[in-house]
Structure 1
Amino acid sequence: MSKKRFIAGASCPKCHALDTMALSKEHDVEKVSCVKCGYQMSQPEEHVEKDIRSNEQVIGVFKP
């Protein structure tokens, strides 16, 4: 079992509970889950993310 790190100030998109979202990593995939209702999200696969990014247009770059 992997270690979970809680995300401060995050609310669950399903049950809207505050401070219940935990980040864990399984098989090199980051997963976010709600400890209250069990809702889960995972990081998109790399080839999907590349396809999405290649079609986006950048309108500006912020350099602090």
Structure 2
Amino acid sequence: MAVPKRKMSKARRDKRRANWKLTVPGLIACPQCHEPKMPHRVCSECGYYDGKEVVKVEAE
């Protein structure tokens, strides 16, 4: 069994546990209304996906 020769410091040990940062989701412009939306999802502003109206969006 592998046994460490020296004690690992807290700084070196805790560096491995610091991978908590999130990445920003990539946004694209909707081809219908040109609002930013996530790719492969229905636009929340106009309700279109792949050039077709999928969801009716009520006007506020």
Q: Could you say which TM-score interval applies, normalised by the shorter chain? A: 0.3 to 0.5
Q: Name the structure with the higher helix share.
A: 1
Q: Name the structure with the higher strand share.
A: 1
With the length of structure 2 as denominator, give the TM-score of the two structures: 0.33
Larger Rg: 1 or 2?
A: 2
Higher relative contact order (CA 8 A, sep 6+): 1
With the length of structure 1 as denominator, give the TM-score of the two structures: 0.32
